[in-house]
Amino acid sequence: MKIIVTNDDGIESNGIKYLAKAVAKLGDVYIVAPRTPQSAGSHAMTLHKPLRVDEYPLNVGEKKALRVSGTPADCVLLALDVLVKGKVDLVVSGINEGPNIGSDVIYSGTVAGAREGALNGIPSIAVSLDAYKDFNFDVASKFTYLFAKKILEEKIEDRIYFNINIPNVNEEEIKGVKFVKQGIRTYKDRVLIGKDPFERTFYWIGGKVVDDDEKDTENDAIRNNFIAVTPMSVDLTDYLWLKKLKDWKIQFP
């Protein structure tokens, strides 16, 4: 088995070390990760300049570790096309510092790493931890190993990827696993306006999460200490609206 491990927090993050060490029990792990953090970089690819790749051993059981001067999507594409020889069986992205739920999956570089794997016909997983400090990677890495093992056993052929969000608690506090839909994530006060030392106006995008009460979603699961698993497709077609549109009568020209 050959497994590509990537992330968007950068190759020096602790999350990728825990992740690589966990899935190394399943096969040969090739860590191909960004040289610098790429959070919120979405599925960006580097087309306007060359990419640089160099070896950067992490010594966590990997076959090889490479750092790339690009995005998570760049990393996976390079790994599949030139950096890893032979058939790749699985792509795993993470462990991200912070959850990736609702609409955040559109912006997430972690999720994009998994999506790039799925676009190339390889079962893929994105793993995120619901915390921004005091990270407990033990539960996340242990569950990822179990889920990755199951995926490899099932021999999935669909262009699908799995978005996993894990509560930042000890194992005994985890209530179980829920398979849930993608929820909605909204923010308030999304733009901070200020002045720099030279009295020039700046705009800083961020914001505070607006609490939601939607049920059967990733957020609903993790706030109740369940691990949330959401299957996602690379097909973005809204089939309900596609059916409705076929009834529209528009003549052109």
Q: What is the pLDDT of residue 245?
A: 95
Q: For the segment 164-194, what is each residue's pLDDT rounded down to a tens digit?
A: 999 999 999 999 999 999 999 999 999 999 9
Per-residue pLDDT at 63: 97
The pLDDT of 220-240, averaged and rounded, is: 96
Helices assigned H by DSSP within 65-167:
72-78, 104-107, 109-119, 137-154
Q: Is residue 190 part of a domain?
A: no
- pLDDT above 90 (res 157): no
Nearest 5°: the CA angle 227, 12, 63 is 85
CATH number at residue 235: 3.40.1210.10
- Residues 15-74: tens digit of each pLDDT: 999 999 999 999 999 999 999 999 999 999 999 999 999 999 999 999 999 999 999 999
How far is Cα 90 from Cα 104, in angstroms, rounded to an integer?
Answer: 23
The domain total for the chain is 1
The answer to whether residue 17 is domain-embedded is: yes
Helices (runs of H) and strands (runs of E) counted in the chain: 7, 13
Which amino acid belongs to residue 169?
V
Is 251 part of a structural domain of the chain? Answer: no
On whether the CB atoms of residues 125 and 162 are closer than 8 A, the answer is: yes
How much is the mean pLDDT over the chain? Answer: 96
Per-residue pLDDT tens for 85-144?
Answer: 999 999 999 999 999 999 999 999 999 999 999 999 999 999 999 999 999 999 999 999
Residue 211 reports pLDDT greater than 90: no
Determine the average pLDDT of the residues in 187-208: 96
Q: What is the predicted pLDDT for the residue at 253?
A: 87
Residue 138's domain comprises: 2-184+213-245
Confidence (pTM): 0.94
Residue 79 located in a structural domain: yes
